[in-house]
Amino acid sequence: MSESEPMPHAETLAWLREIVGDLPVEPMGVGAANRLYTVGDLVLRVFHDTERLARDPWYRPEREARTLRLLAETPVPAPELVAARLVGAEPALLTTRVPGTPEPPADPAVLLSRAAEVLAAIHAVDASGADPVEYATYYDPAVDGARTVPAWTTRPHVWQRMFAALAEEPPRPAAPGFIHRDFHGGQLLWLGEEIGGVVDWTTGCVGPRGVDLARMRLNLALTHGVAVAEEFLPAYAKASGRAVEHHPYWDLLDAGDALLDWPEPRAGAELVEWQRFEAWVGRAVRALAQR
């Protein structure tokens, strides 16, 4: 076992044994927010980042536990919550393991269609009686300070225009509803051309559905190009059975959140991804100006 994959804290292991007995605990790796372990047919997610637990309102195991309980009676292919340890040195969630691998189908049309179908199912969830968390941006001016143009950009005017747009009153969403809040291809597990599961529900909340559309579109633009990203809206409209009027404000708002943690690109793939990101923001700025 590598140093990057330590075993869970002794208190966590003791809690786990009370639930599942002496099943082996095997590291799956370190995700963006959690250490992951297989426990028989189950998955243990350990919220190990104590600094982030103290400061990040979206890094809360109790929120994910509440969301997984909400989704248990829905068609959304989310993990089922088995047990939650919300106190102690390492909060942790024990869930079922949804089937699939992160490898998407080679055909972008299949990716768009299946992702749109599962997002439509997510947006159909009734969270009215679940005391849901309300949406808020990741960007918090009290914590992050004023928005600043990236020092490495060659197109500062794009970011200045975006910041000006975000300073305006946001459009009123037609009908706020339940959203994943961080919906993109990296959250999907695939069984061939079908989605076996959707993971990482810490950010589940009630808010504008346009945020989910924006996050998925941005990630598609980075990984598959603008043409594929633009096809996600008609795929979602078909899957949801309703017309979709997506406001570019949500694309800009999501891009502003993504910019918070964007590292300075050095060369190669990092630079290509940054150029795609900046071009995507420029498209959204122009689309907003045309409204």
Instruction: Going residue by residue through the chain, which has 291 residues, state the pLDDT in tens, using 9 for 90 and above.
Output: 445 578 899 999 999 999 999 999 999 876 667 899 999 999 999 998 888 998 899 999 999 999 999 999 999 999 999 999 998 878 999 999 999 999 999 999 999 999 999 999 999 999 987 777 899 999 999 999 999 999 999 999 999 999 999 999 999 877 789 999 999 999 999 999 999 999 999 999 999 999 999 999 999 999 999 999 999 999 999 999 989 989 999 999 999 999 999 999 998 999 999 999 999 999 999 999 998
pTM equals: 0.94
Say if residue 195 is in the same domain as residue 173: yes
* Final residue before a domain boundary, out of 96, 125, 160: 96
Domain assignment present for residue 225? The answer is yes
HEC readout, the chain: CCCCCCCCCHHHHHHHHHHHCCCCEEEEEECCCCEEEEECCEEEEECCCHHHHHHCCCCCHHHHHHHHHHHCCCCCCCCCEEEEECCCCCCEEEEECCCCECCCCCCHHHHHHHHHHHHHHHHCCCCCCCCCCECCCCCCHHHHCCCCCCCCCCCHHHHHHHHHHHCCCCCCCCCCEEECCCCCHHHEEEECCEEEEECCCCCCEEECHHHHHHHHHHHHHHHCCHHHHHCHHHHHHHHHCCCCCCCHHHHHHHHHHHHHCCCCCCCHHHHHHHHHHHHHHHHHHHHHHCC
Say if residue 283 is in the same domain as residue 202: yes
Domain assignment present for residue 1? The answer is no
Say if residue 86 is in the same domain as residue 116: no
Q: How many domains, in total, are found in the chain?
A: 2
Residue 200, class by beta-carbon neighbours within 10 Å (0-12 exposed, 13-18 middle, 19+ buried)? buried
User: For position 149, which CATH number holds?
Assistant: 3.90.1200.10
d(CA 235, CA 233): 5
Q: For residue 154, which of 285, 282, 283 has the smallest C-alpha distance?
A: 282
- CB neighbours of residue 45 within 10 Å: 24
d(CA 15, CA 206): 32
Point out which residues pair with 95 in neighbouring strands: 43, 81
- Domain that residue 34 falls in: 10-96
Say if residue 92 is in the same domain as residue 170: no
Query: In angstroms, what CA-CA distances link 193 with 98, 103, 112, 222, 273?
Result: 15, 10, 11, 21, 26
Say if residue 150 is in the same domain as residue 55: no
Q: How far is CA 159 from the centre of its chain?
A: 23
Contact 121, 74 (CB under 8 A): yes
pLDDT at 254: 97
Say if residue 51 is in the same domain as residue 136: no
Domain assignment present for residue 101? The answer is no
Say if residue 123 is in the same domain as residue 237: yes
pLDDT at 30: 65
Say if residue 123 is in the same domain as residue 221: yes
* Final residue before a domain boundary, out of 96, 123, 145: 96
